[in-house]
Amino acid sequence: MSSEKTIVFITGANTGIGYQTVRYLLSSHLPYLVFLGTRSEEKSKTAIEKLLEECPNTRSTLAPALIDLESDESIEKAVKAVRSVTDKIDVLIHNAGVEFYANGLTQGLTTREIFDKTYTTNIAGPHILTTLLIPLLLRSDNPRLLFLTSGTASFELGTNPEFILNKSPAAGWPKPPQRELFSYKSSKVALNMIMRDWYRILKEDKVKVWTVNPGLVVTGLGGDTEILKELGAGNPAGSGQFVVNVIEGERDEDVGKTVQRQWLYGEILPF
């Protein structure tokens, strides 16, 4: 392993924004060692093979990192595997997330189970992984910690009646079917506060911390790409490029804030 390579650990790296982030890292003029956090060996192997086919001339290296954010044991094993390769990481990207509105109930999950699984994956898992990887981050000369959030977590956007997810249904009960994201949106609000706490805790250690809103894009999140397209979702490739821009220093003046690729109210989300 070259000591000149920037070492990145990213969760949810085999699909969507995570995959595109890795692709742009491989395309960068800077060399990286990227640990691809995935839930299975098969997903990791498939993603790595495809990425290397798409970027055959890359100066960077890929390594698998099996991790299930619902399992403390899995998180600990992933950290142990990383420690067996390197004694530091430079960038930790919490990209993996879940949203169960589209298929949770049809899969037999109760409302409580949907909330529990959402918060376990979107909040508890990233927090625990961060805690375990802090010693490695602090060995970096330029440590960076990114949490991928969502525009739906903005209280300001929540007051905009023109936004499609803010339409109020007619009076009466039960309400007609409407795409509601109770557990997902609230988990991302919580993630924004988790970021603020880590920014405060690591400020004197010179760790650069952000939440990053990658914009509304078509991914497998929630399992309903057609609804995402109806909402005007774009291509996740641009989101991956934006995340890499943050990694490579373009938003260093905005540490401790939420930055985003595109936003109705400007570039920095209000809390």
Convert the pLDDT of each residue in 174-218 to its tens digit. Answer: 987 767 788 999 999 999 999 999 999 999 999 999 999 887 655
- pLDDT at position 220: 59
Question: What CATH number corresponds to the domain at position 28?
Answer: 3.40.50.720
Task: With respect to residue 267, please indicate whether it lies within any of the assigned structural domains.
Answer: no
Does residue 120 form part of some domain? yes
- Span 145-185, pLDDT tens digits: 999 998 777 777 767 777 667 788 889 999 877 677 889 99
Domain membership flag for residue 234 = yes
Does 223 score more than 60 pLDDT?
no
Cα–Cα distance between 174 and 177 in angstroms, integer? 9
Residues noted as catalytic = 150, 184, 188
CA distances 231 to 218, 225, 226, Å, are: 10, 10, 9
Q: Provide the domain count of the chain.
A: 1
* Residue-range definition of the domain harbouring residue 203: 6-260
Measure the CA angle with vertex 260, ends 71 and 4; round to 5°. 70
Residue 166 inside a domain? The answer is yes
Whether residue 266 lies inside any domain: the answer is no
* Closest-CA residue to 25 (of 40, 38, 10, 39): 10
| Residue 231 confidence (pLDDT) | 56
Is residue 271 situated within a structural domain?
Answer: no
Residue 268 lies in a domain: no
Q: Which residues of 47-57 are buried (b: 16+ CB within 10 A; e: fewer)?
A: bbeebeeebee
Asked whether residue 1 is assigned to any structural domain, the reply reads no
